[in-house]
Structure 1
Amino acid sequence: MAGLGFAGDGSTAPAEAQRPRSLAETAYDAIEQMIISRRLTPGAMVSEGELGAELALGRTPVREALARLKSIGFVEVHPRRGVLVTPVDILKHLELLEVRRPLDETVARCVIARGSDDDMARLQACVAALLAAAEARDREVYFRTKRSLHETLVGAAYNTTLASTMTALHAQSRRFWYTHEPTASFLDCAGLHAAIVSGITARDPETALAGIGRLFDFLDQMTRRALDRRPRV
C-alpha cells in the first residue's frame, strides 16, 4: 500500500515531510502568516515587489504564493494596482464550519485506521504543547501549535486529496480565529482538541467523533457570538 502514501509498517513519515520545501511554499507560508497575524491588515494594498523585498525572495515564488492565497480568499490581485488583503467574513466562517465538520470526522477515521505509533506520539506531544500555550494565553504560540496539531493530524491520515483540501480550510479557520477567538476560550478549546486526540490515539472512533461534535458545537457558538458583536450599520 506504500504507493498510496500509507504508513505501512508504521515507520514511514508522511511524504510531505520528506521533501524539501520550494521557494513558493516558503513564500506562501510567510505571507499567509503575515495576513493571519494581521501584520498585513484587511484592506491593505501591497505589491509583489514589496513582499519579495520583505521576504528576500524573487517575484516568481511570491506570485505563485499569491495565486494560492487568492484561491482561498485571502487576497485579491488587481493588475497595475497591487494586492488587496481581503476582510474576514464571519458569515462565510459559519459556512466553513459546516464543511469542515464531516471532513474532520473523515480525518479522524483515517488516522485511527492508518496512523503509526509514531504519529500517535506526535499527536500527544502537540496536544501537550497546545494545553501549555493555552494556559499561558500566548496567542502567537497557541495558534502556531494548533497549526502543528492540524498538520500532524492530516499527515497521519495518509490521504493526499484530503490533505490538500484541509490545508486550505485550516488556513481560513486560523485567520478567523486569530482575530475572533478570545484568550479566555483557549483552555476550553485546547481541552476539546485534547479529548479528540485521546480518542484517536486510543483508536476509539466513537470517542473521537463525539469529541469532534462537541468541538464544532463550541466553535459554532463562538462564531455566532462574534457575529453578534459586529458593529451595526
Structure 2
Amino acid sequence: MADARRPRSLAETAYDAIEQMIISRHLAPGAMVSEGELGEELALGRTPVREALARLKTIGFVEVHPRRGVLVTPVDIIKHLELLEVRRPLDETVARCVIARASDQDLATLQAQTEGLLVAAAARDREVYFRHKRALHEALVGAAYNPTLTSTMGPLHAQSRRFWYTYEPTASFLDCAGIHATIVAGIAARESDQALAGIGTLFDLLDQITRRALDRRPLV
C-alpha cells in the first residue's frame, strides 16, 4: 500500500480538486473551462492543472480542445452499466485480498468508515454520504495490499462516484449503506461467503438503480 505520509504533489492536489468539482457538478456536464481559470480558482500553476486534466481525460471526465478549452463530458448511463460488469469481479477480488491480508487496524478502519456511512445515509446527507463511501472504498482497496488493484480500482471508483452523485436517489442511501455494512462485517469476520454474497446483492441493486436512471433526469 502507498505510504500515506508521502507528501502530495501539486498535480495530485489539482487532480483531486478538479475531480471533485466534476463529480459534485460544480463543473457541470457541457461546461467549457480553461487551464488558466482552473489554476486561478485552485491557486495552482498551469503545469499541475495540465497534468491533472491529462489524467482526467484518460478516465473520460473531460475532453481537451486546443485553443478552445476543456469540456466536461456528460455522464453516460450505458457506459456505467458496462463499468458495473467490470467492477463486480474486481470488487470480489478486493474482498478476498482484504480477508487474506488485512490487519486488525485495517479492519477497525473499515468498520469506522461503515458506521459513518450509515449515519450519513440515515441523515440523507449527500455530501457526507459520498465522502464516507469514497473513504470506505479507498480503505478497502488499501487493505488489499495489491498495487495493481489500487491503480486499477482508483479510476473505476472515480467514474462510479460521478455517476452515483448524479443519479443515486437519497431514498436508496440506507439500503446501499446497509449492504456495505454486511460486506464489511463478512470481511471483518474473514467469512468470504458472506462478503461475496453481499457484493452480489450490492451489484444487483446498483444495476437496477442504473437501469431506472435511463428514464430519469439527473437528481442534482
Give the alignment's TM-score, normalised by structure 2. 0.97
Aligned equivalents of 1:67, 1:165: Cα separation in 2: 17
The reply on whether 1:158 has 2:145 as its aligned counterpart is: yes
Q: 2:59 aligned to 72, 77, 82, which one?
A: 72
Q: Structure 1: which 4+ aligned runs deviate by more than 4 Å?
A: none
Q: 1:138 aligned to 125, 139, 148, which one?
A: 125
The reply on whether 1:97 has 2:88 as its aligned counterpart is: no
Aligned equivalents of 2:201, 2:39: Cα separation in 1: 42
The reply on whether 1:218 has 2:205 as its aligned counterpart is: yes
Which residue does 2:14 correspond to in 1? 27
Counterpart residue type for residue 128 of structure 1: E
Query: 1:15: Cα distance to partner?
Result: 2.5
Q: Map 1:61-210 onto structure 2 (within 5 A).
A: 61-210=48-197
Counterpart residue type for residue 144 of structure 1: R
SS in structure 1 of the partner of residue 70 of structure 2:
strand
**Unaligned runs of at least 5 residues, structure 1:** 1-13
SS in structure 2 of the partner of residue 164 of structure 1:
helix
Which residue does 1:9 correspond to in 2? none
The reply on whether 1:42 has 2:29 as its aligned counterpart is: yes
Residues 21-52 of structure 1 deviation map (CA, whole Å, 9 limit, x = unaligned): 11101000000000000000000000000000
Query: Between the two proteins, what is the percent identity of the paired residues?
Result: 83
Counterpart residue type for residue 200 of structure 1: I
Query: 1:19: Cα distance to partner?
Result: 1.1
Residues 133-181 of structure 1 deviation map (CA, whole Å, 9 limit, x = unaligned): 0001000000011000000000000111110110000000000000000
SS in structure 2 of the partner of residue 18 of structure 1:
coil
Aligned equivalents of 2:212, 2:92: Cα separation in 1: 25
Aligned equivalents of 1:15, 1:81: Cα separation in 2: 37
Aligned equivalents of 1:192, 1:19: Cα separation in 2: 33
Residues 63-119 of structure 1 deviation map (CA, whole Å, 9 limit, x = unaligned): 010000000000000000000000000000000000000000000000000110000
Which residue does 1:229 correspond to in 2? 216
Counterpart residue type for residue 38 of structure 1: R
Aligned equivalents of 1:16, 1:99: Cα separation in 2: 28
Which residue does 1:4 correspond to in 2? none
Larger CA deviation: 84-93 vs 17-26: 17-26
SS in structure 2 of the partner of residue 83 of structure 1:
strand
SS in structure 2 of the partner of residue 127 of structure 1:
helix
Give the alignment's TM-score, normalised by structure 1. 0.92
